[in-house]
């Protein structure tokens, strides 16, 4: 018995002596196969295993070299050439070169690729979303992928795009080892496989529903990891992530609720970390509604809601309200002709409503989300606050909600919702990723408003080569969408994260996740 206890003690001590970094994730990754994911936690884990062609500078959405050291476009942005980093190897020892990059891009984009495993359920839907479609589709951005030489790849486009490098920098598109994909076949990316990239951490194990364990890549071409092991735990419940942080069983975590801020700040062992805002929570107003199709009604509604007060009350200082659909980091694309903040003036709003022919107001439905998101962490009380503001000008609001999957479906089904809460978190640092998601030809059909000039401007924005040229285009879009008031931005929130006080070197990205190779845990017991 004594021997048994001694063995137990020794194994505990030896296990504890290694520097293990433990992250509390908000769930389990759906898949570790790059190109075939859309959820945040899969991206976060993949960012540790894979590198993307182009990367983001720490804490920003500015681009920096990744597996490509240089990327250049032709004169009209219809072909992008990527020069690849030499001497980089995948974790399985195979070479990262033009063939490997083309293998990855092709299996995402070409529906007939033999290693796309589409007959076994692969969908790669994010490619359709961010790159307009797949090989042969009339809407597809990519026309062809060409090997120029061993370390140069050219991507030819069907239409001009200045954002291709930004899109390929998004965490969805890590470059995986073709050897590993061929070896694991359709199991690649599942817990029964071994995902292989070139990133700072090497996959070790995935215990379903529980954790993913990674080891440092000692041969990493960039900044090497500073811990001996990285464990990413699946802790779905936000209050439980906070409990685990307080108990010291995890070192850092994302996506805590704004009302946890005081609790984190009151704990001397914890440090509150405000992730830079890269989202927008907004109200959508449906043009099919007899009242909302009136410009003055929508403007009156916008003016009657005290957005600043709502942001203060429900985000605990972790959210700002302004008159832009774009988060603050993209403020360069805002127009100076649009006021920085929405005017809150219930009296003027009431008068505007009377001018529109509704002096006694009217009754309308407001749908609120049944789930919590960083842009609307507590949708119901926020909806109640909006309803209270609108009742002050005579608009009676009926609050409604339903199951999330049905909510997402019904908003696009005619006649849709009168008015509903929704939001967006960006994938990469270009205004197109925000405006393009909710305006124009590729957007939701929820507001029944898609004027030709908006689509034209979106196309121009995608083609514009410089930030100055883009700014000119998006400033016009800002003015048009602000005056139209079909989508009323309510907040840009700073998702709350927290870490134990000994965690050093963590620079949260606005995009929601970042590689953890910069983090160390000196003094962790």
Contact residues for another protein (CB under 8 A)?
4-5, 7-9, 11-12, 15-16, 20, 22, 27-28, 30-31, 33, 36, 38, 117-118, 120-123, 125, 128-129, 186, 189-192, 205, 207-211, 213, 231, 233-237, 239-240, 243-244, 246-247, 249-250, 402-406, 408-410, 412, 422-424, 437, 442-445
| Phi/psi of residue 141, nearest 5 degrees | -75, -45
Q: Shortest approach of another protein to residue 342 CB, angstroms?
A: 23
Q: Shortest approach of another protein to residue 42 CB, angstroms?
A: 9
**Nearer CB in complex with another protein: 282/291:** 282
Q: Shortest approach of another protein to residue 429 CB, angstroms?
A: 17
Sign of the dihedral defined by the CA atoms of residues 282, 286, 289, 294, in that order = positive
| Phi/psi of residue 242, nearest 5 degrees | -65, -45
Q: Shortest approach of another protein to residue 241 CB, angstroms?
A: 9
Q: Calculate the dihedral angle through the C-alpha atoms of 300, 302, 308, 310, rounding to the nearest 10 degrees.
A: 100
**Nearer CB in complex with another protein: 89/246:** 246
Q: Which residues lie closer than 8 Å to 6 by C-beta, 6 or more apart?
A: none
**Nearer CB in complex with another protein: 83/263:** 263
Q: Shortest approach of another protein to residue 378 CB, angstroms?
A: 18
**Nearer CB in complex with another protein: 142/352:** 142
Q: In what order do the strands lie in the sheet with 496-500?
A: 201-207, 211-216, 229-234, 20-25, 252-256, 496-500, 270-274
**Nearer CB in complex with another protein: 65/128:** 128
229 in Cβ contact with 218 (< 8 Å): no
**Distance of alpha carbon 163 from alpha carbon 168, whole angstroms:** 9
Tokens of 288: 């099919």
**Nearer CB in complex with another protein: 18/468:** 18
| Phi/psi of residue 205, nearest 5 degrees | -155, 160
Closest CA to 372 of 362, 384, 364, 380: 380
Closest CA to 21 of 321, 233, 312, 274: 233
Tokens of 348: 């003027």
**Nearer CB in complex with another protein: 152/243:** 243
Q: Shortest approach of another protein to residue 235 CB, angstroms?
A: 5
**Nearer CB in complex with another protein: 247/452:** 247
Closest CA to 513 of 64, 48, 196, 33: 48
**Nearer CB in complex with another protein: 51/244:** 244
Q: Shortest approach of another protein to residue 474 CB, angstroms?
A: 20
Check residue 145 and report its DSSP letter. Answer: E
**Distance of alpha carbon 254 from alpha carbon 260, whole angstroms:** 12
Sign of the dihedral defined by the CA atoms of residues 322, 323, 325, 326, in that order = negative
Q: Shortest approach of another protein to residue 147 CB, angstroms?
A: 28
Give Cα 87 distance to the centre of its chain.
31
Give Cα 456 distance to the centre of its chain.
25
Neighbours of 179 (CB within 10 A): 16
Here the contacts of 378-381 (C-beta below 8 Å, separation 24 or greater) are: 378/257, 378/259, 378/314, 379/421, 381/314
Q: Shortest approach of another protein to residue 165 CB, angstroms?
A: 21
**Distance of alpha carbon 457 from alpha carbon 394, whole angstroms:** 37
Tokens of 262: 């005081």
**Nearer CB in complex with another protein: 250/496:** 250
**Nearer CB in complex with another protein: 222/489:** 489
| Phi/psi of residue 328, nearest 5 degrees | -55, -30
Q: Shortest approach of another protein to residue 473 CB, angstroms?
A: 22
Q: Shortest approach of another protein to residue 34 CB, angstroms?
A: 13
**Distance of alpha carbon 509 from alpha carbon 348, whole angstroms:** 40
**Nearer CB in complex with another protein: 66/426:** 426
**Nearer CB in complex with another protein: 385/443:** 443
Any alpha helices (H) in 148-278, and if so which ranges?
164-169, 178-184, 238-247, 261-265
Q: Shortest approach of another protein to residue 308 CB, angstroms?
A: 24
521 in Cβ contact with 227 (< 8 Å): yes
Taking CA 457 as the corner, what is the angle to CA 451 and CA 458, rounded to the nearest 5 degrees? 95
**Nearer CB in complex with another protein: 11/398:** 11
Coil, helix or strand at residue 511: coil
């Amino acid at each position: 018995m004594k021997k048994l206890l001694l063995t137990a003690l020794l194994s505990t001590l030896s296990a504890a002596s290694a520097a293990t970094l433990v992250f509390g994730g908000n769930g389990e990754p759906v898949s570790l196969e790059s190109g075939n994911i859309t959820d945040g936690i899969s991206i976060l884990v993949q960012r540790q295993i894979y590198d993307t062609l182009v990367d983001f500078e720490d804490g920003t959405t500015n681009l920096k070299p990744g597996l490509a050291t240089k990327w250049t476009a032709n004169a009209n942005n219809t072909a992008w050439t990527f020069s690849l980093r030499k001497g980089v190897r995948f974790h399985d020892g195979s070479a990262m070169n033009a063939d490997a990059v083309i293998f990855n891009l092709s299996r995402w984009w070409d529906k007939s690729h033999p290693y796309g495993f589409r007959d076994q359920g692969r969908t790669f839907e994010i490619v359709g979303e961010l790159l307009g479609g797949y090989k042969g589709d009339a809407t597809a951005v990519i026309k062809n992928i060409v090997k120029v030489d061993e370390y140069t790849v050219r991507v030819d486009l069907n239409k001009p795009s200045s954002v291709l490098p930004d899109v390929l920098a998004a965490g969805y598109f890590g470059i995986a080892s073709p050897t590993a994909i061929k070896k694991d076949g359709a199991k690649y990316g599942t817990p029964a496989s071994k995902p292989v990239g070139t990133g700072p951490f090497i996959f070790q194990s995935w215990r379903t529903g529980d954790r993913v364990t990674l080891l440092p890549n000692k041969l990493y071409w960039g900044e090497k990891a500073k811990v001996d092991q990285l464990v990413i735990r699946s802790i779905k419940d936000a209050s439980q992530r906070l409990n685990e942080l307080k108990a010291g069983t995890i070192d850092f975590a994302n996506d805590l609720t704004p009302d946890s801020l005081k609790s984190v700040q009151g704990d001397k062992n914890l440090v509150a970390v405000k992730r830079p805002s890269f989202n927008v929570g907004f109200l959508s107003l449906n043009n099919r509604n007899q009242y909302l199709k009136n410009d003055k009604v929508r403007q009156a509604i916008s003016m009657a809601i005290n957005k600043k007060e709502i942001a203060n009350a429900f985000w605990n200082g972790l959210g700002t309200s302004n008159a832009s659909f774009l988060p603050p980091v993209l403020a360069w694309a805002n127009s100076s002709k649009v006021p920085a903040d929405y005017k809150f003036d219930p009296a003027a709003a009431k008068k505007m409503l009377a001018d529109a022919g509704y002096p006694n107001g009217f009754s309308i439905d407001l749908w609120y989300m049944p789930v919590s998101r960083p842009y609307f962490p507590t949708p119901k009380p926020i909806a109640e606050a909006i309803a209270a503001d609108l009742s002050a000008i005579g608009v009676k609001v009926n609050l409604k909600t339903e199951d999330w999957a049905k909510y997402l479906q019904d908003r696009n089904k005619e006649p849709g919702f009168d008015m509903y809460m929704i939001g967006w978190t960006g994938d990469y640092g270009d205004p197109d990723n925000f405006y393009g998601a909710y305006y124009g030809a590729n957007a939701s059909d929820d507001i029944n408003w898609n004027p030709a000039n908006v689509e034209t401007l979106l196309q121009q924005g995608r083609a514009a080569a410089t930030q100055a040229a883009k700014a000119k285009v998006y400033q016009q879009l800002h003015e048009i969408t602000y005056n139209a008031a079909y989508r009323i931005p309510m907040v840009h929130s700073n998702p709350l994260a927290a870490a134990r006080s000994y965690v050093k070197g963590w620079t949260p990205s606005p995009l929601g996740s970042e590689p953890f190779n910069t983090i160390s845990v000196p003094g962790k017991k």
